[in-house]
Amino acid sequence: MRVGALVVACVLSAAGLANDYYPRGEGLSWTYSSGETQAMSGPRDWNGLEVSVLTHYLDGVPVSEDYLTFDPDGVRTHGTASGGSVVRYDPPLLIYAAPPLQPGATWSTTTEIAGLAITLSSEVVGLRGVQTPAGRFNALQIRQRTLTSTGGRTLLDLFLVPGVGIVRFVTEDGTTIDLIELAR
């Protein structure tokens, strides 16, 4: 269960990322209606790999970090740190396929953590108008399904605006988390 939660946290965090399409600039931050702020820093050397670091804060306190790279195939997460422990994804998970994303695009990736296989499957289901406290956006709705080798499953809809990041998350139970502030 903890591993599934870490993967979901990675997926959520990777949402707002690369200089043009997936924003990743040093000092970018996104604050959400859940009380979470995500801030980008880096690049940083992490196990011999140059990564961008997405730090998650609750009430101003850092609670986790995600280690991300951007390559011609898209955005990958190589691991996460939380509570003093680090989880490395081998192989890394492809969070977003190469831009530009279009409705109907799909991708799937699998990694293994301590003998547990985790598969992340994503589909761009459409373009949607989204009104948040941070503004009105035309966003790509991306449906991400996570499946573990033990049968665990999650479903998450992300609303991605190229050049901005994730402006809305909708969880499987219908909980909506909106972007309330973007700082550049």
Question: What are 118-166's pLDDT values in tens digits?
Answer: 999 999 999 999 999 999 999 999 999 999 999 999 999 999 999 999 9
- Percentage, residues of the chain above pLDDT 70: 90
The domain defined by 2-183 folds into YmcC-like fold (2.40.360)
Q: Are strands 176-183 and 29-32 parallel, antiparallel or unpaired?
A: antiparallel
Q: For 35-44, write each residue's pLDDT tens digit.
A: 999 999 989 9
Predicted local distance difference test score (pLDDT) of residue 1: 41
Domain limits, the chain? 2-183
What does pLDDT average to over the chain? 90
Nearest one of 58, 108, 62 to 82, comparing CA atoms: 62
Predicted local distance difference test score (pLDDT) of residue 99: 94
- pLDDT surpassing 50 at residue 69: yes
Main-chain phi, psi angles of 15, to 5 degrees:
-55, -40
Predicted local distance difference test score (pLDDT) of residue 47: 87
String of b and e for 146-179 (b: at least 16 CB within 10 Å)? bbbeeeeebebbbbbbbebbbbbbbeeeeeebbb
Q: Is 143 exposed, middle or buried (0-12, 13-18, 19+ CB in 10 A)?
A: middle
Q: pLDDT grade, residue 2 (50/70/90)?
A: very low
Predicted local distance difference test score (pLDDT) of residue 184: 86
Q: Give the number of other CB atoms < 10 A from CB of residue 56.
A: 20
pTM of the complete model: 0.87
Q: pLDDT grade, residue 114 (50/70/90)?
A: confident
Report the alpha-carbon distance of residue 89 to residue 135 in Å, rounded: 35
> Which one-letter DSSP state was computed for residue 172?
T
Q: pLDDT grade, residue 14 (50/70/90)?
A: very low
Q: pLDDT grade, residue 4 (50/70/90)?
A: very low
